[in-house]
Amino acid sequence: MAEPLLPDDPTRLGAYTLTGRLGEGGQGAVYLGRDADGRQVAVKLLHARLSRDPAARSRFVRELEVAKRVAGFCTARVLDADVDGDRPYIVSEFVSGPSLAALVRDEGPMDDSALLRLAIGTATALAAIHRAGVVHRDFKPQNVLMGAGGPRVIDFGIARALGDDTAIVTSQVVGTPAYMAPEQVAGSAIGPATDVFAWGGTLLFAATGRPPFGGDSVPAVMHRVLHAEADVGVLPGPLAEIVGACLAKAPERRPSAQDVLLRLLGLVGAHSPSGSGDPLERGATLVTTRLTEVIKNVPAGSPPPQVSPPDTVPPARRPRRRRRSALIAAIPLAASAIILPFAVAPLLRGGENGGSGGGTTVTLGFVGPLSGDSAHLGRPMLAGARLAVAEYNARGPRVRARLVEYDTKGREEGAAAVAPRIADDEVQALVGPALSGEAQRMAPLLEQYHVPSVSPGATAESLSEQGWQYWHTVVPDTDASAVALADLALRSGPPNNVMVIDDGTLYARTTANVFQTRLETGSVNVLRKRVPEQAQDFSALVREMKRSGVDAVFYGGLYPQAAPLIKQARQEGVSARFYLTDGSFDPQLTTLAGTAAEGAVLTCSCLNPGATTVVTPQYADFLKRYAKANGGAQPETFAAEGYDAANAVLDALAAGKRTGEEINAYFGTMDRQGVTQRIRFTAKGEIIDAVVYAYQVRSGRFVLLGDSRTARIS
């Protein structure tokens, strides 16, 4: 689990010998160490660059104080600390085991017994945290360690004692989008109920292998957190009722962590009818117990199942692989998604001769929205992929390609619905999943069964941080677009006084933070402002623009608010240049703002074919070949990305690679010039040196300025 120490790492802190690295974050590094008795411990050391920063040291001390208040029921206990020396550090209990996120990624969703054990352990931990008057604020699968003695909740880095109203620095993102409660997204007051909401989402992740509100763009996830209901029907029996109550939108409607624990204890017959005894002690004992009774079919109100004698058990079990059958087709979709029968190295389809050499045909798949509200994204991707396959087969290769289409209808559950067909068709590799939410839903299964994928459109930054080995994308993420936009602004002027605006949502705050931080490195004066989410009246903000004399404005929100902001500013005589995120890269921006949008500058990860006043030679040639193959029609947005994603897979076939394992290994050595990007993948599946494209609104259209690294604004 631990990695070797780096040359600059210390080998000793106080009485502790450091033996390896467990991880690193923005605040500090975590080391594996041993105390004087040889016992393993985890040692968190504040980064050297922060040791002389009073605010950073204060946050580190607050983390210690908060963590020490929590009793050691299913949490990693603090054992020692030194926060007064030159290099502050905190020593805590070492839990030998993967995080819940890593466990589900590697072994698949949990079975019912393991899920119930997880629920009791983590509810016990939250009840202990809240009893100490602490709110965790970042409860998620990554912060639950799965040791042999049961789950342990860790990381109090952004936890707060109730009543602590210390301001948060602007650049701090508090919480993780997929597990944030509605009040966190809205910027309202948070409390213990916020952790209870995150607990419910974490249980859904453990049962399904996917985040409770999707994993695509941050704005889409936040919208679902605020307005959509999570599907708790995938959970067994009465556990669905408990988790459903925890995911109530209004915090006052959620049960407390202790109420959740009591209901779980009652479910397994471990409640105390007299009310005597500490439920936290009972919960902590139960996590080392084998829960043998399956609770899936126990209706609400039924007598609780019995608990078998204590026995140490593995934290989860991997679902068995088997061929699809009538039995699998008859069980619920959520369950069948857990045991999809992908073969590790499926047999190649025989009898389909290709080329003059009479070779083998390999089946590839395209996964994306071909109907529904997102079809305008999926269909162009498929068109690009079809062109790539047709051109490849026309060359008469020994290993030919067969492209099979799978329509997700733009829904995450659609990705699960097509998965059994992918298994039946013995697909070796995928072009897709096309959208971030689809990728989040399918990638854990593809990962488990070694089916490589190359997405032409998934841009969520979190996808590359999952540790997947078979996931790849040919587009940069949205944060990269914000960085590129700031660099473009610095190179084109730069502005002297910039107003940076967000609307309080996590997406807007994050992009605004990225833009602001980048500008401040160039000594630009930044005035930070916030407006209500979904605001339409920006009069006060416009008056501030005029009073401050800003010469540039960045808005981190989406086009429905960006359009009226620009329109009102221009009507009041504000001449500052507007910089907008890729969330405003939509034709509706110019429709709503009219001529006021003229001159606005944006960046996007896609190469928009409707604005090709500047093109690469590769793209110009692609336009000609696409038109010839499609009766003179021009490609729509994301067709070129679909073409590039398909060609990445086809290059592997041309090199003689036939199985998913071989194709995936080839991706690690790939270096080809695509239409939109040079295709070279990092170990995380990202594009190396990805190009972000810059655009400017001219005559009501998004006009391509070119590669954002070299583009100039007129």
pLDDT tens track for 592-644: 999 999 999 999 888 876 555 556 788 888 989 999 998 888 888 899 999 99
Domain final position from 263, 286, 309: 286
672-673/678-679 β-pairing: antiparallel
Residue 553 lies in a domain: yes
Into how many domains does the chain fold? 3
Q: Please give the pLDDT value at position 626.
A: 92
Do the domain assignments include residue 47? yes
Quick one: pLDDT at residue 370?
93
- One domain, residues 58 and 140: yes
In the predicted model, is pLDDT for residue 90 greater than 80?
A: yes
Q: Is the domain of 114 the same as that of 239?
A: yes
Give me the domain span that covers residue 636. 349-476+617-681
| Residue 92 is assigned to a structural domain of this protein | yes
* Strand boundaries in 268-359, DSSP class E: none
- Are 433 and 396 part of one and the same domain? yes
Q: Which residues of 165-183 are buried (b: 16+ CB within 10 A; e: fewer)?
A: eeeeeeeeeebbbbbbbbb
The verdict on residue 359 lying in a domain is yes
Tell me, yes or no, whether 596 and 629 share the same domain: no
For the chain, the average pLDDT equals 80
Q: What is the pLDDT of residues 144-167, one digit of tens each?
A: 988 877 888 887 655 555 544 433
Do 518 and 641 sit in the same domain of this protein? no
What the block records as the tokens of 468 is: 């997947």
Mean pLDDT of 429-442: 88
* Lowest mean per-residue pLDDT among 80-84, 222-226, 603-607, 633-637: 80-84
652-670 confidence digits (pLDDT tens): 999 999 999 999 999 999 9
Q: Buried b vs exposed e over 1-31: b needs ≥16 C-beta within 10 Å? A: ebeebeeeebeebeebbbeebbeeeebbbbb
Q: Is residue 593 domain-shared with residue 623, that is, in the same domain?
A: no
Tell me: do 529 and 655 sit in the same domain.
Answer: no
Is the pLDDT confidence value at 201 over 90? yes
Single residue among 247, 266, 286 that ends a domain in this structure: 286
Domain presence at residue 689: no
Q: Can you tell me which residue has the tokens 């921006």?
A: 589
Please give the average per-residue pLDDT across 240-269, as a whole number.
90
Q: Does residue 686 fall inside a structural domain? A: no
Instruction: Name which residue leads in pLDDT, 386 or 313.
Output: 386
Domain membership flag for residue 676: yes
Catalytic residues: 138
Task: Name the pLDDT band for 349 (thresholds 50, 70, 90).
Answer: very low
Domain containing residue 182: CATH number: 1.10.510.10
For 344-378, give the DSSP string. SSPPPBPS---TTTT-EEEEEEEEE-SSSTTHHHH
Residues 140 and 264 in one domain: yes
Peptide bond into 433 cis (omega under 30): yes
Q: Provide, rounded to the nearest whole percent, the portion of the chain with pLDDT above 90.
A: 40
Q: Based on the fold, state whether residues 387 and 471 are members of the same structural domain.
A: yes
Which residue did the predictor score with more confidence, 99 or 196?
196
| Mean pLDDT, residues 45-59 | 75
Q: 580, 562 in Cβ contact below 8 A?
A: yes
For residues 583 and 512, the answer to whether their CB atoms sit within 8 Å is no
pLDDT at 69 over 90: no
CATH number at residue 555: 3.40.50.2300
| Any domain includes 701 | yes
Averaged pLDDT, 500-508: 85
DSSP notation for 142-211: GGEEEETTEEEE---TT-EETT--PPPPTT---S-GGG--HHHHTT----HHHHHHHHHHHHHHHHHSS-
Q: Provide the CA 507 distance to its chain's centre, in angstroms.
A: 12
Cα-trace Rg, the chain: 27
Residue 561 above 90 pLDDT? yes
